[in-house]
Chains A and B, each alone.
Chain A
Amino acid sequence: MEGKSGSSEEVVVETVYKVEGGKSIRPRLVLKSGKISSVRIYGDFFFYPEEELMALEEALLGAGVGEVCERVKRFFTERKITLLGATPQDFTEAILKAING
């Protein structure tokens, strides 16, 4: 999808990131001027409690590519999340893969 020229270039990016052992993480992001303006993280992993995945997506809003790792790390440290079939690092890698192409 093409972005507009000028100061608010909007780009939609997505990718399929395969975790070792078979599960996949599929982030879909809208980037505006290089910052995450919306993000959905799809996939066949298990995430408990389920509502917290929405909270993770919210926590990523406004992040530039250099801030993704820190925000993901902080999110998982501050909350009691059980993630099966992937690790927090996999989430970071998947999002960076989508952003960097």
Chain B
Amino acid sequence: MKAEGRVVLDGERRASENMALDEALLISLKEGSPPTLRLYGWSPSAVSIGYFQRVEDEVDLERARELGIDVVRRITGGGAVYHDREGEVTYSVVLPLDFPGLPREPLSIYRFIGQGLVNAFGEMGLSATLQGVNDVAVGGRKISGSALVLRPWGILQHGTILISVDPDRMFSVLKVPEEKLRDKIVKNVKKRVTSLRDQGFEGGRGDVVDALLQGFSEALSARFAPGKPTPGEMEIARSLEVNKYGREEWLFRGGRR
């Protein structure tokens, strides 16, 4: 007996809108919204930082402004991520706590949902493994990273799937701990990170989206019916965008301080 869910085949949104909508879908689980998978992109390209990070440490804000790259803080932990408009597909999944098979411990949840990603890469002809806490790797090189937040009623996990990666562009806005180490760090990233194109996958965004839908359906034993956010969910998202994600206080350590 498969669980029933909704898949939102979303387009591109601004960074603050994307984070607001992810949280709105999480909150809406409380009001009876179904388990939801959302597949989306970022326009313009953006950087998202983890909940516990200090934006000045991680992002060259001046450079981001010059390049028209959005910067947003997530409610999930983890690191600073560069979301290229063309270079990645992002997923988010919200599940109620009583979703069949959903574990309780964060690490187990990463494994449970991560299996969906491993399956998806398999659909695309690549052999992937779970790596570390929250990454998926092909040939030992990171191709996807995720972050998870738990609430008393459910969970939100979101993450990226790299179609192509340009470390030079990434580090034009992400800070490095020491400027003199920049070249070494960029070279290191090129070794430790890979992408679908790097692995010889020639399919388009649509193929990636199809593979993710297939992969998550299998891993979660669910049937995801295509749907859209409801007007109520969009209203929550708009409110979060205005009052939280679009605000300087939230970005500059306003979140929990």
Contact = CB atoms under 8 A, between A and B. Distances in A.
B7 to A, nearest CB: 26
A48 B106 CA distance: 8
B94 to A, nearest CB: 17
Given A51-B256, A54-B256, A82-B106, A46 B53 contact: no
B107 A44 contact: no
Interface residues of A, number: 23
Nearest to B178: A16
Interface in B114-132: 132
Interface in B224-257: 253, 256-257
Contacts of A26: 54, 57
B133 A84 contact: yes
Interface residues of B, number: 24
A42 B257 CA distance: 12
A21 interface: yes
A96 interface: no
A51 B54 CA distance: 16
A40 B78 CA distance: 16
Contact of B53 (A22, A44, A51, A85): A44
A16 B181 CA distance: 14
B77 A45 contact: yes
A40 B257 CA distance: 10
A9 to B, nearest CB: 25
Nearest to B80: A44
B132 to A, nearest CB: 6
B177 interface: yes
B143 to A, nearest CB: 15
A85 B54 contact: no
B107 A84 contact: yes
Interface string B71-97: 000000111100000000000000000
A53 B106 contact: no
Given A16-B177, A82-B106, A85-B133, A46 B77 contact: yes
Contacts of A54: 256-257
A50 interface: yes
Given A21-B132, A50-B256, A53-B52, A44 B78 contact: yes
Given A21-B132, A42-B57, A48 B150 contact: yes
B147 interface: yes
A43 interface: yes
A84 to B, nearest CB: 5
Nearest to A85: B133
Contacts of B51: 50
Contact of B148 (A21, A22, A46): A46
Interface of B: 50-54, 57, 77-80, 105-107, 132-134, 147-150, 177, 253, 256-257
20 contacts: A16-B177, A22-B132, A28-B54, A43-B53, A44-B50, A44-B77, A44-B79, A45-B52, A46-B148, A48-B106, A49-B150, A50-B77, A54-B256, A54-B257, A82-B106, A82-B107, A84-B77, A84-B106, A84-B133, A84-B134
Given A42-B54, A53-B256, 18 more contacts: A21-B132, A26-B57, A40-B257, A42-B52, A42-B57, A44-B52, A45-B52, A46-B134, A46-B148, A47-B77, A48-B106, A48-B150, A49-B150, A50-B51, A53-B52, A54-B256, A82-B107, A84-B133
